[in-house]
Amino acid sequence: GPIGQMTLAEIKALKTVSRGRQIPTLEEVLKLAHDRRMGVYLDMKVIPGQWADFIALLDRHDMKGNVILGLWWKDALREVESQWPEMVTTISWPKPVPKIKGVKKLGADYVGTLRSLASNRMIKKSHKLGLKTVTMPINTEKEMRKFIDRGLDILQTDDPRILVKMGVDRRILRR
């Protein structure tokens, strides 16, 4: 059934398709990332007004400085930027923000977009405005090379083994 209707016990009973592993909680992911000194990109579906518990969780794991919040609502971005300005944020373009300049005006650090819209021109325009860029997952070596060459700042993938196979050091994506 839909994950939002499941209990934690039901979710923990599920296994991943690829390796048969238990699905971790966000708290477990944050602990692992902290212990390994890794950054985390979180694609957030939190509704405005529900941030305090989430930010407290980041604080408990000393992860506020190592998380990028991918946001989908302008009100959520405004709330995070006003209450926790130290958080690194991204919001999607062209929806809900129709202009890249609007992303900058709202205070986001990154502009998120679909792969098909992340052209050389779009990435350069974002960089000129002081914004970094991120797209939806890229899962082939050919596409990864193309977007690294374009200057994409964050490369999301469902299969990081491709990057390892390519010999890409994860620091190369942290310009």
Per-residue pLDDT tens digits for 16-58: 887 788 888 899 999 999 998 888 999 888 766 788 888 999 9
pLDDT on residue 18: 74
C-alpha count within 13 angstroms, C-beta hemisphere, residue 137: 10
Residue 173's pLDDT band, with cuts at 50, 70 and 90, is very low
pLDDT on residue 170: 56
- Give 83-130 pLDDT, tens digit per residue: 999 999 999 999 999 999 999 999 999 999 999 999 999 999 999 999
* pTM of the predicted model as reported, rounded to 2 decimal places: 0.83
pLDDT on residue 15: 86
